[in-house]
């Protein structure tokens, strides 16, 4: 792949320049960050066939190198073609991260780390510096990511409390505030670290969840419905619910069981509602002494709707209710705290301490991609996104593909992974994918279980 200059970002930068007088989020280094996104790539993608799997028969890519360069190189072939992006960037919890972009030096001049006895002003200055570095790292990458998204695509970003508010503001600038679709909450493992301090009072409670922000590329993006497991009671028992809602279509206000609403509307068209009233009358007259409504619903093919009027009912529906049938799944909201953020399995054991939960990523993919589409993760880590794509394709026969990007960050010298011979995160990520392939390869012969490895290397110019 040849590096290209991302000239399509010029309009974004020019618009930002014109709107300086309007509300916008500023920090030291922002202009350099925007400029860095517009500069041409200085590296090429070089194939590494010996580290790939089924190189000639796969659409999946694993790219080793800095993701800012990778996002620039990918523009040539993939601009406007990525259906979904998921990233789990560094959370900026106080530890330095490895994305040492050249504009980081702007922040480092004249700064130092605070120590014991330093003032709150010094501490605030260091905190501001760390926020600025993190924002300058994220901003150009998100600018380039937006260019890669298809018009009906979306990006999902995992984040915690440290930078959530800042991330919201820069994403509003880059993707548009109207394109924020949801902020999902996902549960962390419960920790008892605070128990040792609770006798003297707690400064804070342990954080119990993280967030996943979702921004669409445009109004063309639509979620696919996803469901969570119902309770045992909910899967076996139906319930009655008011048939009125506060939408305002006069044609949906009609007489039903002796009552016509003056405001709002009934939920279904009149023909369907009257049929549901007759269904319930049929049940009461001929079957209620023999079986429950749930049993009758199952006996008649699990398709019938029912409406009744509760004589003691009040409110806008005046007792008119429709029956909600037992459910095999509950339509999800933005509350995903039934799912854990991190979860290990046999494919990540011994490689990575806290890999993202593959079920979370699979659920996100199901919201954005029916059965095909390219999924990009440019903070690939332990390759959970690749695991999720391959496993989903095996389960539903989908033809989704992935592009993963990971900088070859060194593993910790004392980590179990280093002791096992994995010197950097890329080696861990590729081993994880290989384990996933070994796990899945007997389950489907039709699914793409390969990946091409590419490495970013500096461009050499003739005579240079």
Q: What percent of the chain has pLDDT over 70?
A: 85
Query: Treating both helix axes as pointing N-terminal to C-terminal, what angle do 10-18 and 30-38 enclose, rounded to 10 degrees?
Result: 150
Q: What is the mean pLDDT of residues 132-157?
A: 97
Strand stretches in 124-258, DSSP E: 149-159, 180-187, 209-216, 227-228, 239-242, 244-245
| Full DSSP string of 63-88 | EES-HHHHHHHHHHHHTTTEEEEEE-
Residue 314: CB atoms within 10 A of its CB come to 8
Quote the pLDDT of residue 306. 98
Q: Give the separation between CA 362 and CA 342, rounded to whole angstroms.
A: 13
For the record, the structure tokens of 135 come out as 């924002």
pLDDT in tens, 77-107: 999 999 999 999 998 665 555 555 554 444 4
Q: Say what the pLDDT of residue 113 is.
A: 47
**What's the average model confidence in pLDDT over 386-396?**
96
DSSP state letter for 328 = S
**Given a cut of 90, is residue 459 above it in pLDDT?**
no
pLDDT digits (tens, 9 = 90+) for 308-341: 999 888 889 999 999 999 987 889 999 999 999 9
Residue 145: the pLDDT is: 98
pLDDT tens for each residue of 269-294: 999 999 999 999 999 999 999 999 99
Please state the rounded mean pLDDT for residues 97-119. Answer: 50
- In this prediction, residue 112 carries a pLDDT of 45
**230 confidence band (pLDDT: 50, 70, 90):** confident
pLDDT of residue 38: 95
User: Cα-atom radius of gyration of the chain, to the nearest Å?
Assistant: 27
- Averaged pLDDT for residues 47-62: 97
Q: Is the pLDDT of residue 19 over 60?
A: no
Nearest to 87 by CA among 226, 214, 267: 214
pLDDT of 191 reads 67
Is there a contact between 62 and 74 (Cβ–Cβ < 8 Å)? no
**% of the chain beyond a pLDDT of 90:** 67
Domains of the chain: 7-225+344-458 (3.40.50.150), 232-328 (no CATH)
| Predicted pLDDT of residue 200 | 77
Q: At what angle do helices 358-368 and 384-396 cross, to 10 degrees?
A: 60
Residue in 309, 283, 307, 279 with CA at minimum distance from that of residue 296: 283
Q: What is the pLDDT of residue 104?
A: 47
Give the separation between CA 31 and CA 16, rounded to whole angstroms: 10
Q: What integer is the mean pLDDT of 332-353?
A: 91
- Please tell me the predicted confidence (pLDDT) of residue 170: 97
In this prediction, residues 229-234 reach a mean pLDDT of: 80
State the pLDDT confidence band at 62, using cuts at 50, 70 and 90: very high
In Å, the largest CA–CA distance within the chain is: 93
With a cut of 90, say whether residue 126 has pLDDT above it: no
Q: How far is CA 212 from CA 103, 390, 457, in A?
A: 27, 22, 32
Evaluate if residue 21 carries a pLDDT over 70.
no
- 1 or 85, greater pLDDT: 85
Q: Residue 409: what pLDDT?
A: 93
């Amino acid at each position: 792949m040849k590096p290209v200059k991302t000239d399509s970002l010029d309009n974004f930068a020019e618009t930002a320049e014109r709107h300086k007088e309007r509300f916008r989020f500023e920090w030291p280094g922002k202009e350099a960050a925007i400029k860095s996104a517009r500069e041409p790539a200085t590296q090429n993608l070089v194939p590494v066939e010996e580290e790939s799997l089924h190189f000639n028969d796969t659409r999946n890519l694993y790219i080793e190198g800095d993701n800012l360069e990778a996002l620039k190189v990918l523009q040539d072939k993939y601009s406007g073609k990525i259906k979904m992006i998921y990233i789990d960037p560094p959370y900026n919890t106080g530890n330095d991260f490895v994305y040492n972009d050249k504009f980081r030096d702007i922040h480092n001049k004249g700064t130092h780390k605070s120590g014991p006895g330093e003032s709150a002003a010094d501490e605030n200055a260091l905190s501001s510096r760390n926020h600025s570095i993190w924002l300058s790292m994220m901003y150009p990458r998100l600018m380039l990511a937006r260019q890669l998204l298809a018009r009906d695509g979306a990006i999902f970003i995992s984040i915690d409390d440290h930078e959530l508010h800042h991330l919201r503001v820069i994403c509003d600038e880059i993707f548009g505030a109207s394109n924020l679709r949801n902020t999902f909450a996902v549960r962390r493992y419960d920790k008892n670290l605070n128990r040792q301090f609770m006798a003297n009072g707690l400064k804070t409670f342990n954080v119990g969840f993280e967030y996943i922000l979702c921004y669409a590329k445009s109004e063309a993006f639509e979620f696919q419905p996803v469901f969570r497991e119902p309770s045992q009671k909910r899967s076996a028992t139906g319930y009655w619910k008011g048939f009125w809602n506060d939408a305002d279509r006069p044609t949906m206000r009609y007489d039903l069981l002796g009552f016509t609403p003056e405001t709002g509307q009934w939920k279904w068209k009149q023909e369907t509602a009257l049929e549901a009233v007759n269904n319930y009358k049929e049940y009461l007259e001929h079957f209620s002494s023999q079986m429950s409504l749930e049993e009758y619903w199952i006996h008649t093919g699990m398709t019938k709707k029912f409406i009744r009027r509760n004589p003691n009912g009040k409110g806008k529906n005046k007792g008119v209710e429709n029956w909600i049938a037992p459910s095999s799944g509950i339509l999800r909201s933005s509350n995903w705290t039934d799912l854990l953020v991190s979860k290990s399995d046999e494919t990540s054991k011994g490689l990575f301490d806290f890999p993202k939960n593959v079920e979370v990523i699979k659920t996100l993919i199901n919201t954005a991609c029916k059965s095909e589409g390219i999924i990009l993760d440019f903070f690939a880590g332990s390759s959970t996104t690749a695991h999720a794509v391959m496993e989903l394709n095996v389960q539903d026969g989908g033809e989704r593909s992935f592009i993963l990007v990971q900088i070859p960050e060194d593993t910790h010298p004392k980590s179990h992974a280093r002791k096992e011979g994995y010197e950097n995160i890329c080696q861990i990520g590729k081993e994880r994918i290989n384990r996933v392939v070994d796990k899945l390869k007997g389950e489907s012969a039709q699914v793409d279980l390969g990946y091409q490895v590419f490495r970013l290397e500096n461009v050499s110019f003739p005579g240079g």
